Amino acid sequence: MRILYVFGTRPEAIKLAPLIAETRKDSAFDVRTCVTAQHRQMLDQALSIFDVTPDIDLDLMQPDQDLPSLTSRLIMGVHRVIGEVQPDHVIVQGDTTTTFAASLAAFYARVPVAHVEAGLRSGSLDAPWPEELNRKLTSSIAALHFAPTEGARDNLLREGVRPDSVFVTGNTVIDAVAQIANAIRSDTALRSRIDRQLAFLDSKRPLILTTGHRRESFGPGLEAICNALAELARDEDVEIVYPVHLNPNVQQPVHRILGGSSGVHLIDPVDYVTFVSLMMRARLILTDSGGVQEEAPFLAKPVLVMRETTERPEAIRAGLARLVGTDEKAIVTEAKRLLHDPAHYASMSTGASPYGDGTASRKIAEVLRAAGPSPRDAGRRWPKAG
């Protein structure tokens, strides 16, 4: 059974890498990988960490790319690849523009789509934008839906997806973070390398790890986040590490407001191993990232989610994460509470994970194996390459 993975960003690579490895070791699968390079540099970091060498690299990223031109390039690029590879299934992950465009190209080629991390919903097309629409459209196309939680499964069923096409597997990001965390704990040489890389940190001071890059926060929202971090740096004896996304809409306000602030380290995006190490060292995490909302509870780290809503409500309901939006006062108040209230901190750092136990990739591979090759009957029309 020939399966074609299509992905283009660092989060997709991280979350698909364990599944790629799981299917590659199984003789039932003929595995092909195609990267679109929607985000070139950060994608390449993740590929090298997990030792994934793409079979096909479309290298579609352009400077200052907009969504319409990116989407059209993605559809045409994946269309050509499907014609050349002729897969039985196209596998996509999450909610990126690559995910939707690849799904649409597969649909036009009449190739079944398997959607990893299916069923996440915030309930608002504006947050996250455009990801909420991307995943809803992908769900309308996919033949197999791998939901990370029962809540995600329920979302799909409410939208009319056939129950026998939905499988609750956990999230493959837990497979990935568990693999990397175990390597950090067991590999002395790796740990020494990371220690040298992070030698600028004062291990005696609590570490607050921050990520913030979502489009809906550009402008006043991101400025409020930065002002909150500046206040925390002034008031608390903490270290703040902020790997700053490469988007100019993030770089400019972050460096303008936080550049030169004592105790605030603005660093370039780091590789996934270093990022997991930072999460493991952190006292608490402030983020608007979807993946970090899943990874941090598994690592027993409290999360303050700097968004107005989230498609990952399970950690919120379990008391392991808290929505604070981009409200400066709320961010500061909740961060200080975690720094000074041991009982509250303990309640948010149990190590319980609502997103799986690290076996999602194996479960997904079992479903794909059972599904078997898609029928190549007279009704199928393969697109011509080129």
SS3 123: coil
Total residues found in the chain within this entry: 386
CB count in 10 Å sphere of residue 246: 13
Cis ω for the linkage preceding 130 (within 30 of 0): yes
- Which residues are tagged catalytic? 95, 117, 131, 213, 215, 245
Cα distances from 233 to residues 79, 197, 242, 307, in angstroms, run 50, 22, 12, 21
Q: Are 153 and 144 in contact (CB under 8 A)?
A: no
Q: Are 257 and 227 in contact (CB under 8 A)?
A: yes
Angle in degrees, CA 336, 342, 343, rounded to 5? 115
CB count in 10 Å sphere of residue 164: 6
Query: Residue 324: CB partners within 8 Å, gap ≥ 6?
Result: 304, 305, 306, 330, 331, 334
Spatial separation of the C-alpha atoms in residues 351 and 374, rounded to whole Å: 40
Q: Are 60 and 102 in contact (CB under 8 A)?
A: no
CB count in 10 Å sphere of residue 5: 28
Two tokens at 94? 């999450």
DSSP assignment, residue 190? H
Spatial separation of the C-alpha atoms in residues 85 and 113, rounded to whole Å: 15
Spatial separation of the C-alpha atoms in residues 15 and 341, rounded to whole Å: 34
Per-position b or e across 44-60, b if 16+ CB within 10 A of its CB: bbbbebbebebebbbeb
Spatial separation of the C-alpha atoms in residues 116 and 323, rounded to whole Å: 25
